[in-house]
């Protein structure tokens, strides 16, 4: 799949999610609600936010695969960038940590998500959260601007991850760091899954092998790379049968191939 085609699919899917007036919380995960990801309507990987300080229910669309703010080392007064900020979920959590003296910037390339995030922040009295339309591969942001970069289940959907991490390095201040929750693989997914467009938008087939993912981070000059959390993602047979035959499902189950949610940190 060409990069621009993948971006178009992702933008269409997440634009559709943002445009919905209400979401079915029982179907949280990268796929969000019924109909947004075709057959992939199952609670896959989202972490629970309801007890997290700063949680804003209006901004929580259930699209994450971790809780990056938990390990991000954000401090009061920090300038934080959230990549693929969606409706602003992690931005509001980060804002509860940085306080009034800090600043939160959310970057997303889906216009509908930016509008929804701006509507959410307009309901508060916060003046230090902004949402900007832009591409992670070419951020419309200055060099050395941020203390911390966070992201939640987004970079796996970015076609050129080398450019994405290079841009992260560029916009971080010297001594800054990132904390990212994302999806990685161990072993090769069956072709039937890998080629399904819904799986791309559902945060699975766009994922890299874990070793390759970590290699890209290192190649972009980041140091002290550390996986803070890792958990396996199980795909139910009811979903697999839409893409694979019975024998293929059995082979997949026995292959040791794994899909994982990881939360990783690294320093500039």
Domain count, the chain: 1
pLDDT of residue 26: 36
Pair 169, 98: CB distance under 8 Å: no
> Tokens representing 155?
């970079």
Helix axes 111-122, 3-19, angle to 10 degrees: 40
CB 176 within 8 A of CB 146: yes
pLDDT above 70 (res 202): no
Hey, which residues does 229 pair with through a beta bridge?
263
pLDDT at 90 over 70: yes
CB 32 within 8 A of CB 61: yes
In whole angstroms, give the CA distance from residue 200 to residue 82.
21
* Lowest mean pLDDT segment, chosen from 35-39, 81-85, 208-212: 35-39
Q: With 70 as the cut, is the pLDDT of residue 25 above it? A: no
Question: Residues 12, 32: contact at Cβ < 8 Å?
Answer: no
Q: How is residue 62 annotated by DSSP?
A: S
Q: Which residue has the higher pLDDT, 31 or 96?
A: 96
Tell whether the model's pLDDT for residue 200 goes beyond 60: no
Tell me the average pLDDT across 168-177: 98
What value does the mean pLDDT take over residues 75-84?
98
31, pLDDT greater than 70: no
pTM of the model: 0.85
The yes-or-no verdict on residue 33 having pLDDT over 90 is no
φ/ψ region of 212 (left if φ > 0, alpha if ψ in -120 to 50, else beta) reads alpha
**Range of lowest pLDDT (3-12, 24-33, 161-170):** 24-33
- CA distance readout (Å), 117 to 32, 54, 69, 186, 190: 16, 15, 18, 34, 36
Q: Higher-confidence residue: 40 or 239? A: 239
The answer to whether residues 186 and 175 touch, using CB atoms and an 8 Å cutoff, is: no
pLDDT the model gives residue 34? 36
- Full DSSP string of 81-143: EEET-TTSHHHHHHHHHH-TTSEEEEEES-HHHHHHHHHHHHTS--SSEEEEE-BTTB-SS-T
Instruction: Give me the torsion for CA of 72, 76, 81, 87, rounded to 10°.
Output: 90
CATH number at residue 133: 3.40.50.150
- Tens digit of each residue's pLDDT (9 = 90 or more) over 34-60: 333 444 433 445 567 878 999 998 898
Strand extents, DSSP E, 31-94:
79-83
Per DSSP, 205 falls in state T
Range of the domain at 53: 3-267
């Amino acid at each position: 799949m060409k990069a621009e085609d993948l971006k178009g699919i992702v933008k269409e899917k997440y634009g559709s999610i943002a445009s919905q007036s209400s979401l079915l919380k029982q179907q949280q995960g990268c796929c969000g609600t019924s109909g947004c990801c075709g057959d992939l309507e199952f609670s896959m990987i989202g972490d629970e936010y309801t007890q997290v300080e700063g949680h804003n229910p209006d901004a929580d669309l259930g699209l994450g695969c971790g809780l990056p703010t938990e390990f991000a080392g954000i401090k009061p007064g920090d300038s934080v960038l959230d990549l693929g900020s969606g409706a602003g979920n992690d931005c509001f959590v980060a804002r509860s940590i940085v306080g009034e003296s800090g600043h939160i910037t959310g970057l997303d390339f889906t216009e509908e998500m930016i509008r929804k995030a701006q509507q959410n922040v307009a309901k508060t009295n916060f003046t230090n959260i902004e949402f900007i339309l832009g591409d992670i591969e070419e951020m419309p942001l200055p060099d050395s601007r941020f203390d911390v970069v966070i992201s939640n289940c987004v970079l796996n959907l970015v076609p050129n991850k080398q450019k994405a991490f290079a841009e992260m390095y560029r916009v971080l201040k010297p001594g800054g760091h990132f904390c990212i929750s994302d999806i990685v693989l161990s072993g090769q997914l069956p072709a039937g899954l890998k080629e399904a467009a819904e799986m791309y938008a559902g945060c699975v087939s766009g994922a890299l092998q874990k070793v390759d993912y970590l290699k890209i981070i290192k190649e972009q000059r980041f140091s002290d790379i550390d996986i803070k959390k890792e958990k396996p993602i199980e795909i139910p047979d009811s979903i697999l049968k839409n893409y694979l035959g019975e024998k293929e499902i059995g082979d997949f189950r026995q292959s040791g191939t794994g899909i994982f949610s990881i939360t990783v940190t690294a320093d500039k």
